[in-house]
Chain A
Amino acid sequence: MSVLASLFAAIPVPAAETLGGPLTTRDWIVQGAYLAASILFILGLRSLTKPTQARLGMQQAAFGMLFAVIGTLLHSGIITYTWIIAGLILGALIGYPMAMKVAMTSMPQFVAFSHAFGAIAATLVGVVEYRHAFEMVNGVMPGMNHGIAFAVGFEVLFGALTVTGSFMAFGKLQELITGRPITFPGQNAFNITLIAVALLSLGVLTYDPTQAWAFYTVLGLGLFLGVSMVLPIGGGDMPVVISLLNSYAGLAASATGFAIGNNVLIIAGALEGAGGFILSIIMSKAMNRSFANIIFGAFGSAPSAAAKAGGPVKEPKTITSEDAATQLAYAGSVVIVPGYGMAVAQAQHTCRELHELIQKKGGQVTYAIHPVAGRMPGHLNVILSEAGIDYGALLTDVDDANRVLQTADVAVIIGANDIVNPDAEEDKSSPLFGMPIFRPWTAKTVFVVKRGKGTGFSGVENPLFTKDNTLMIYGDAKGVLGNLVKEIKALDEGH
């Protein structure tokens, strides 16, 4: 009880247990550290609105975290430090090499993994809190009221769901399990039943906190739901899943704050919850799909994806890298539309080489980056920046990019597919219909760099490839771009 009570005591509002108890100097210091941390977190996030200030702002936020940790260590409720210090050191030893070694292309997996770790912590804290309160006086829980029981239940439900959900997302992104949706008949009904049972158990726990079975049911169902809800979601929808898990991880952290009566947890969790929520909305808008459709739709699970009837199938035209290089070398304006295929092929550095060559020849190169290009929000921006491309050349607004495409001489599609599929605008029966897309076919010529014939992640045919001004260059993105660079250099030597 002492810890819960003292945590409440640290909050400058009259909690039942501490009515009339004055704040000690230590309490003021702890609360001051928490307040400073909260302010630094908000300022850090605000700094992300400007790329020039972002780095400094986030470094300050890291100091905010340090304040929060130091503040907690000063807390009167902490009795032994051995395990805390050991845990902090071990965590730093695991986290440091992880962050320094991870490739920018693997960022989605990394973030999923990191979500899982934060959620494990929140879930375990929930279990400790519940057990602690439960063990106090044989079956009666003086420290547990309905509100706290709800918070602890909510915490383990969302925490557990985020743990397994993130590991599933990690597995799909890392291709340990298939990126295709895994479905079975009655799946949605099954999941909805599970959610209903979980919420019911949460209700029981809130009504009668002594019902330990309800607590463990919530925990178990949370773990199970994370798996069963991510299972039917395809790899192309990962940006939404990761954003949602981001939001859930924040909510779990916030609930921890409610459970142990700690404001900095509530604030930081709410910030992440809001961030994940906004990103989920932006992502689903960029795909013109609702949350429900993404979670329950199992997009692209039908392998056939309705091969369109009628009309002879046109064969896409191809172009040799030599001819393509000539056109690029004399183009005034080139727009590159990268997709996840560029990231997979690690072609960003070769792409920058090509970019610089075209620029030297007097052409202008810009990039059209779709909100859902890659496997997480903004993924391609990071990958191109890693290659040293100036972010001023990155167009992240679909309308802006389409305006530039209209006056472009050449549009080069590298490893992208669904985000340039004209069916999204022209074919009402297409599953992509209504998704805001780039219109590369409005440029004079379109080059499509593609590993081979076949459909994108959604499994939908792309009529862009058979348009009159589209020319295909088959091959691995890195290899193709390497050839283009070589050919353009050869042009120079030929002079």
Chain B
Amino acid sequence: MLQIFQLYVFILAGFVGFIVIQRVPPLLHTPLMSATNAISGISLVGAIVAAGGQYGKLATILGFIAVVCAATNVVAGFLITDRMLAMFKGEKAGNAKEQADKKAEAAK
């Protein structure tokens, strides 16, 4: 039964993701990828459980490596996304297309 509930959560989350992400403009596709990458660093949660759960020495070592990797993924992912998004400036956003449309009409 539990796994059916999990499947529900998975499918609904995927559905929400699909609907939301479909509307992300091509302009922001690179930040989108680094953003989802950062979010999937959520493996960190699993890594923390493995490293801190006292499953034995090997598990702690593997868990520790997993925590390091996932934390790197999270920190680097969110920082680079922020760095990129800070670069997008558009006081005159939309201008290019509008002017081009106007011009095209004038040319007619």
Q: Give the B-binding residues of A (Cβ under 8 A).
A: 2-3, 7-8, 11, 13-16, 37-38, 41-42, 44-46, 48-49, 51-52, 54-55, 58-59, 61-62, 65, 68-69, 72-73, 75, 77-81, 83-84, 86-88, 90-92, 94-96, 98-100, 102, 104, 107, 110-111, 114-115, 117-118, 120-122, 124-125, 127-129, 131-132, 135, 147-148, 242-243, 246, 249-250, 252-254, 256-279, 282, 333, 364, 366, 369, 371, 376-379, 381-382, 385-386, 388, 390-397, 400, 403-404, 406-407
In the bound complex, residues from chain B placing their C-beta under 8 Å from that of A263 are 6, 9
CB pair B16–A42 under 8 Å, yes or no, is yes
In the bound complex, residues from chain B placing their C-beta under 8 Å from that of A129 are 50
A-B contact sample (8 more), CB < 8 A, given A52-B90, A390-B93:
A14-B1, A65-B42, A125-B43, A261-B6, A266-B13, A282-B29, A407-B104, A407-B107
CB pair A393–B73 under 8 Å, yes or no, is no
> Quick one: which of B14, B20, B45, B51 has the most chain A CB within 10 A?
B45
CB distance from B36 to the nearest CB of A (A): 4
A242 touches which of B25, B33, B73 (Cβ 8 Å):
B33
Given contacts A45-B35, A124-B47, A381-B28, contact A269 B20 (CB under 8 A): no
Within 8 A of A (CB), among B5-25: 5-6, 9-11, 13-18, 20-25
User: Which residue from chain A places its CB closest to the CB of B94 in the assembled complex?
Assistant: A392
CB distance from B101 to the nearest CB of A (A): 8
In the bound complex, residues from chain A placing their C-beta under 8 Å from that of B80 are 99, 102, 107, 110, 114
CB pair A391–B93 under 8 Å, yes or no, is yes
CB pair B45–A69 under 8 Å, yes or no, is yes
User: Which residue from chain A places its CB closest to the CB of B40 in the assembled complex?
Assistant: A272
Bound Cα distance A128, B94 (Å): 51
CB pair B55–A132 under 8 Å, yes or no, is yes
CB pair B59–A132 under 8 Å, yes or no, is yes
Given contacts A41-B39, A68-B42, A114-B34, contact A131 B48 (CB under 8 A): no
CB pair B46–A83 under 8 Å, yes or no, is no
CB pair B53–A73 under 8 Å, yes or no, is no
In the bound complex, residues from chain A placing their C-beta under 8 Å from that of B16 are 42, 271
B contact residues, total (Cβ < 8 Å): 96
B79 touches which of A52, A91, A95, A377 (Cβ 8 Å):
A95
Q: Give the A-binding residues of B (Cβ under 8 A).
A: 1-3, 5-6, 9-11, 13-18, 20-56, 58-60, 62-97, 99-101, 103-104, 107
CB pair B78–A381 under 8 Å, yes or no, is no
CB distance from B72 to the nearest CB of A (A): 4
CB distance from A378 to the nearest CB of B (A): 3
Bound Cα distance A65, B71 (Å): 11
In the bound complex, residues from chain B placing their C-beta under 8 Å from that of A274 are 14-15, 17-18, 21
CB pair B30–A378 under 8 Å, yes or no, is yes
Given contacts A253-B42, A392-B96, contact A261 B63 (CB under 8 A): no
Bound Cα distance A357, B50 (Å): 58
CB distance from A202 to the nearest CB of B (A): 16
Bound Cα distance A78, B97 (Å): 55
> Quick one: which of B28, B56, B91, B104 has the most chain A CB within 10 A?
B28
CB pair B27–A394 under 8 Å, yes or no, is yes
Bound Cα distance A59, B91 (Å): 21
Bound Cα distance A78, B39 (Å): 22
Bound Cα distance A409, B3 (Å): 61
Bound Cα distance A127, B20 (Å): 33
Bound Cα distance A172, B17 (Å): 30
Given contacts A87-B64, A95-B72, A275-B17, contact A258 B6 (CB under 8 A): yes
> Quick one: which of B49, B75, B101 has the most chain A CB within 10 A?
B49
CB pair A128–B77 under 8 Å, yes or no, is no
CB pair A276–B36 under 8 Å, yes or no, is yes
CB pair A275–B36 under 8 Å, yes or no, is yes
In the bound complex, residues from chain A placing their C-beta under 8 Å from that of B49 are 3, 7, 72, 75, 77-78, 125, 260, 262
Bound Cα distance A466, B89 (Å): 37
Bound Cα distance A261, B46 (Å): 10
In the bound complex, residues from chain A placing their C-beta under 8 Å from that of B33 are 111, 242-243, 246, 275-276, 279, 376-378
Bound Cα distance A124, B100 (Å): 53
In the bound complex, residues from chain B placing their C-beta under 8 Å from that of A267 are 9-10, 13
Bound Cα distance A263, B59 (Å): 22
In the bound complex, residues from chain B placing their C-beta under 8 Å from that of A95 are 71-77, 79
CB pair A114–B37 under 8 Å, yes or no, is yes
In the bound complex, residues from chain A placing their C-beta under 8 Å from that of B11 are 270
